[in-house]
Chains A and B, each alone.
Chain A
């Protein structure tokens, strides 16, 4: 366990991609089988520990630590695994530490009732880093900035093969991947069956700037809507034995088929690879990202979720068809193939993302600021902006220069007053970094602030420190982890909050919910009395409703 724990620990502190790759290569070369195979499985999300849930880990620590002290510690550290790793006391009498293979295989063979005691014994035997790595592993939340693609890239580098080569054989293999390592180390043959549904790294766009338009001729480009969902790839085909497989991948190459069985089933016959946006559709209308979020980050879904949040793919591009790689072809050729492909597949869960008609950049600018009449119709609220693509662009992995741009919509903005602050998690743990803010409205007892949203990013690290100081200094009440901050007409902190849209919401006291709110600026220069009123937000909502952008 120690080499694996040290690897995770180093990766967690290492922000540079090349240095991460170096650490991974070093580990893959040094670590023995089958440990390194299980490590690769952990980083590609191929392991699961169904008996070990965060609730169980919480229960184990509460058997050992005062609940109040645990609560304060967790609030401070902001990460359950790390909090428990720090609080747990090592049993110095245990000399032997478990290997990674022992951990993985023991839990695979353990019953649900044996798992808690087994985990506790392992924690007893490990030092802090080991306990942290073990808990990260079994809760499936490594969060060390390593995607499946990065891990496979490191492995490919060890074997001096192209990363795509690893992708092609990947899904024929099972942890701990002994034959894969044998092939990489040139001790064995290339693993037999080619993967009929491999991941192909996606092509990404640059953000466009105003000055760029002068250099670009609108005639050379097409544009399409940028939908506010998650970018995915659907890959499918038949294996040598004739068995059909379809897989759904995230942008980073993590397989997410398990969370979207409805989609996978609906496009089951797909032979090729599609690039598209995953969205939730209800009655023919694209739902907001908030609604899509209910289905994200889950390994499995309930039948009710499938019914309430039907997933859908809006296709942008076709990368392969029937074993033919289309990526070198120009965009307009791929687009024609894509249109025919979608029509042939005829799935109710799959449609084509339409192109936007425009002849000048001015026309496109108008479409972007008001998508409904420009073709987006009822789905305009789910438009995040435009994608601008050279008609002759090949499909290249990564973010090549000169082919694709994204042009996001201008956000809405209001001045709101900080009301409550909570400590953040992850990178921002122990700082007060989650902010609830409000705007003015007429209350029963005169003017009052009503909360309209919550934001936890948009500020720099330096600004975070300043806001954190403000929160600590101006706290007027504490409710567990939440601090109420002074918010009076002449005392308090004003944020310029940017957001992508507004919706009616029964959950919020103000009756409104913001989409994708973030802190655009801190207005140290403004007093709370100068902040916006709820009426301003109501007017914004009414205006976007009229434009067909309302989203119930």
Chain B
């Protein structure tokens, strides 16, 4: 089967005609396969959803239990067959429950990697490279200026600022799903044992991660504390809250932001960030190139991000590559530098 007959880009997302299913559709469809819980990939209102147990759980946290009529659990390593097409879920290393989906029929295999990273993450299973004919990749940080530094150094930067300014609250912007939990876990791994304070919008996903066995240590809501008790403490909040009225409750705060975008100085300045922390849940340039080599695909399709550079690099390596120009991705998390709409996700993340 030709790859373009097996999966084809459409306004709703990636469509698989022989199985009549969609992957990460941005509009409601009869049957959707979802790679991970970020709101631009996982939307409410599909007839049926096939995803990992964690992703289904995250969707229920965010949209309520009625986010779909039928939720089906996909397990890593156990293919689901629909009309003769095999769909195999494998870890993507992006956030808890995140998966790649290998779509295979009549000897043609396409891997939809979703969003992914190769760097170590204590909060989710590591990315598993799958050999394939076509590799579909994101390119959020698909420029050679994006090389994420070792995250230990970034955590050390935060901790040394805390010891340098023991009277100032360190307000760290971190995306609600994935980044906030990873920051907490990395702080714990670095030996930080003070309570970590959070914005109410992070509460339910923090609890969800903890319930799935991710050790986040003691987490407390900011709203439960007097202002003076937060001097010298670390507070995690959605990125949009850094410059919000909300952050004015802290005395002389240090504003930090954990994101791959912090690699570019103008980005940090545009957001008024004083302490940029380069911690990303997406592959950087080196890992993107290495992954494309590793899966040894003959063809690469690029879903969203900086597609020009990676398509050029692929061409120079003799790999056919094309941008899919899918619309609608990059509205949550790091995928688009200026967007931080997860705070606006309906219902699920309001302070309790």
Q: How far is the CB of A466 from chain B (nearest CB, A)?
A: 10
Interface residue count on the B side (C-beta < 8 Å): 27
Partner of A76, one of B143, B270, B272, B273: B143
Interface residues of A in 171-190 (CB under 8 A from B): none
Question: In whole Å, how far is B254's beta carbon from the nearest beta carbon of chain A?
Answer: 11
Determine whether B147 belongs to the interface, using a CB cutoff of 8 Å to chain A: yes
Contact A428 B266 (CB under 8 A): yes
Is B338's CB under 8 angstroms from A465's CB?
A: yes
* Cβ contacts under 8 Å, A461 to chain B: 270
B189 CB-CB contact with A under 8 Å: no
B270 & A428 in contact (Cβ 8 Å cutoff): yes
Shortest Cβ distance from B149 into A: residue? A128
CB <8 Å contact, B266 and A13: no
Given contacts A69-B312, A76-B145, contact A430 B266 (CB under 8 A): yes
Residues of chain A contacted by B275 (CB below 8 angstroms)? 13
Distance between Cα atoms of A431 and B339 in the complex (Å): 13
Give the segment of A80-88, A92-100, A447-455 that binds chain B: A80-88
A79–B269 CA distance with the chains assembled, in angstroms: 14
Interface string of B134-148 (1 = CB under 8 A from A): 000000000111110
Asked if B312 and A15 make an inter-chain contact with CB atoms under 8 angstroms apart, the answer reads no
Q: Does A31 contact B (CB under 8 A)?
A: no
Q: Tell me the smallest distance from the CB of B269 to a CB of chain A, in Å.
A: 6
Closest to A473 in B: B327
In the complex, which residues of chain A have a beta carbon less than 8 angstroms from the beta carbon of B149?
128
Q: Which residues from 25 to 84 on chain A have a C-beta closer than 8 Å to any C-beta of chain B?
A: 65-66, 68-69, 72-73, 76-79, 82-83
Q: Is A14's CB under 8 angstroms from B144's CB?
A: no
Instruction: Please report the C-alpha to C-alpha distance between residue A82 and residue B143 in the assembled complex, in whole angstroms.
Output: 14
Chain A: CB-nearest residue to B145:
A86
Interface size on A, residues (CB 8 A): 29
The 0/1 profile, CB within 8 Å of A marked 1, for residues 148-176 of chain B is 01000000000000000000000000000
Closest to B255 in A: A13
B229 at the interface (CB under 8 A from A): no
Given the complex of chains A and B, what is the CA–CA distance between A465 and B267 in angstroms?
Answer: 13
Q: Which of A14, A73, A78 contacts B143 (CB 8 A)?
A: A73
Q: How far is the CA of A428 from the CA of B269 in the complex (A)?
A: 9
Q: Which A residues are in CB contact (< 8 Å) with B146?
A: 86
Q: Are B316 and A76 in contact (CB under 8 A)?
A: no
Do A13 and B269 have beta carbons less than 8 Å apart?
yes
A106 CA to B72 CA in the complex, in Å?
Answer: 67
Q: B264 touching A429 by the CB < 8 A rule?
A: yes
Chain A residues near B316 (CB-CB < 8 A): 66
Which B residues touch A14, using CB under 8 A?
274
Residues of A within 8 A of B308 (CB): 72
Q: Which of A375-392 contact B (CB under 8 A)?
A: none
A468 at interface (Cβ–Cβ under 8 A)? yes
Is there an interface contact between B266 and A69, defined as CB atoms closer than 8 Å? no
Measured in the bound complex, the distance between the Cα atoms of B188 and A241 in whole Å is 68
Q: Is the beta-carbon distance between B313 and A69 smaller than 8 angstroms? A: yes
Q: Is A12 part of the binding interface, using a Cβ–Cβ cutoff of 8 Å?
A: yes
Task: Assess whether A427 is interfacial by the CB under 8 Å rule.
Answer: yes
Are A87 and B144 neighbours in the complex by a CB distance under 8 Å?
yes
Task: Given A69-B313, A73-B145, A427-B270, check contact A82 B264 (CB 8 Å).
Answer: yes
A-B contact pairs, 21 of them (CB 8 A): A12-B265, A13-B276, A66-B313, A68-B312, A69-B312, A69-B313, A73-B144, A76-B143, A76-B264, A76-B306, A77-B264, A82-B265, A86-B263, A87-B144, A132-B265, A427-B266, A427-B270, A428-B266, A430-B264, A431-B270, A431-B338
Q: A: which residues have CB within 8 A of B?
A: 12-15, 65-66, 68-69, 72-73, 76-79, 82-83, 86-87, 128, 132, 426-431, 461, 465, 468
State the B residues within 8 Å of A (CB).
143-147, 149, 263-270, 272-276, 306, 308-309, 312-313, 316, 337-338
Given contacts A83-B145, A430-B264, A431-B270, 6 further A-B contacts (CB under 8 A): A12-B269, A13-B265, A13-B274, A66-B312, A79-B266, A86-B146
